[in-house]
Structure 1
Amino acid sequence: MSLTFRLDPAVTPELRDGVLRLWADVSNAGGAVGFVPPVAPEAIRPALVQHFVAMAEGRSRLLVGYGEDGEAAATAFFTFNTHRLMTHWVWLYTVMVHPRYQGLGYGRELLEEAERAARGFDGIQAIRLTCRGGLGLEHFYASCGYKEVGRVPGAIRVAPGDDRDDVIMLLTLA
């Protein structure tokens, strides 16, 4: 089985609730998507609303991978730069695959689909993302063609005494 991807799906209550569940499940399984366990969907809701507002304003787009059950199983949010000197690349945020699908190649599928989508965006020549150090995520992204282009030591405080590097990755499309 593989995921079925949809760029810019309609934001319905089902999608909203599905992405909230996905985000909480990924976070609670130790995923590095902006929260630390334990976290409830209600604590994540404001961050998701910010993404949806950016989408409504045309500053962001959503890619969703759906499992066989029709539930959101993977996501990535594209955010466009508004600075006139940086409009040629896009940010990729909240890249996540549900824990039940991890280890099956769906993360790689998600990044391949994100690359295909970005190639269709007018004037976009690169994708930039950041990841939390200490989990080996930069190795996964590197295996998908991203290059580490920067690192801010200790920029992410997961807990008191547990600071992680913020690793900056870039995929050139041109």
Structure 2
Amino acid sequence: MTDESMPDLAQITDAQAVTPELRRQLIDCWIAVTNSAGAAGFPFPPVQDDDVAPVTDKLLGRLHPQHSRLITARLDDVLAGWVVLNRDPFQLVGHWGTVNHLQTHPELRSRGVGSALMRQLRKIARDELELEQLHLAARGGEGLEDFYSRLGWREVGRWPGALRLAPDDTRDEVLMLLDPL
């Protein structure tokens, strides 16, 4: 990826900073990702605005500088992808964060957007939130383990057959860890 094609990354820590335009773009991206069989939280496509908008609003409502951050990527002023970093507020597990909903708009894939989002998320987790490790769960059978492994993550376990996408399509939930940051 050349410098001119690098996505413009931003983080949001407060729902008040989300413009109506960005909210709409987040919803549209999530719909497009899900309806193209992406593993981003809605397992049964097709989805539409009525499915995704309330979940997006709930996610945005939880944004908080110390506990939940939204990281967005833009290419040429178009939302290319986004990811959420959550930190548990309880002291016992307050040293690690959880990554949720990494997604790249299907029309903008293979441009390094997902990798750029994950590198920025790692930097924010380490430098701003002072986290020591990150966790995520990925849908097996999608090649996601390879993607995350290239970014330094390692598989630490699986929930065999945890995800039933259809009567004849049961997948493992792959548990991954990034440690140290």
Distance 1:85 1:23, change over 3 A: same
Does 2:58 align with 1:54?
A: no
Aligned counterpart, 2:98: 91
Matches within 5 A, 1:159-170: 159-170=166-177
Letter in 2 for 1:37: P
Aligned with residue 34 of structure 1, among 28, 41, 56: 41
Distance across 2 between alignment mates of 1:165 and 1:147: 16
Which amino acid is the alignment partner of residue 5 of structure 1?
Answer: L
Q: Percent identity?
A: 34
Q: Is the 8 A contact 1:75 1:96 kept in 2?
A: yes
Q: 2:131, 2:64 → 1: CA distance? A: 20
CA–CA separation in structure 2 for the residues paired with 1:66 and 1:57 = 21
* RMSD of aligned residue pairs (Cα, Å): 1.6
Flag structure 2 segments of 5+ consecutive residues without an equivalent: none
Give the match's secondary structure for 2:164.
Answer: strand
Distance 1:56 1:124, change over 3 A: closer
Q: 2:177 is aligned with what amino acid?
A: L
Amino acid at match of 2:29: L
Q: Does residue 78 of the first structure (1) align with residue 85 of the second (2)? A: yes
Q: How many residues align?
A: 173
CA contact (8 A) 2:163 2:171 kept: yes
Could you tell me which runs of 5 or more consecutive residues in structure 1 were left unpaired when the two chains were aligned.
none
**Are the aligned partners of 1:119 and 1:173 in contact in 2 as well (CA < 8 Å)?**
no
Partner of 2:6, secondary structure, is coil
Q: Would the aligned equivalents of 1:55 and 1:61 in 2 still touch at CA under 8 Å? A: yes
| TM-superposition CA deviations, 1:97-156 (whole Å, max 9, x none) | 111221222221111111111112333011111110011111110111100011001111
Aligned with 1:150 (options 157, 172, 179): 157
Task: Output the TM-score relative to the length of structure 2.
Answer: 0.89
Shift of 1:85: 1.2
Written as runs of structure 1 = structure 2, the 5 A alignment for 1:59-70 is 59-68=67-76, 70=77
Tell me, yes or no, if the aligned pair for 2:66 and 2:129 is still in contact at 8 Å: no
**What SS does structure 1 have at the residue aligned with 2:119?**
helix
Of 12, 15, 27 in structure 2, the residue corresponding to residue 8 of structure 1 is 12
Counterpart amino acid of residue 2 in structure 1? M
Q: How much does 1:164 deviate? A: 1.1
| Higher mean displacement: 11-20 or 115-124 | 115-124
Q: Normalising by the residue count of structure 1, what TM-score does the alignment of the two structures yield?
A: 0.92
Report if aligned partners of 2:80, 2:113 keep a CA contact under 8 Å in 1.
Answer: no
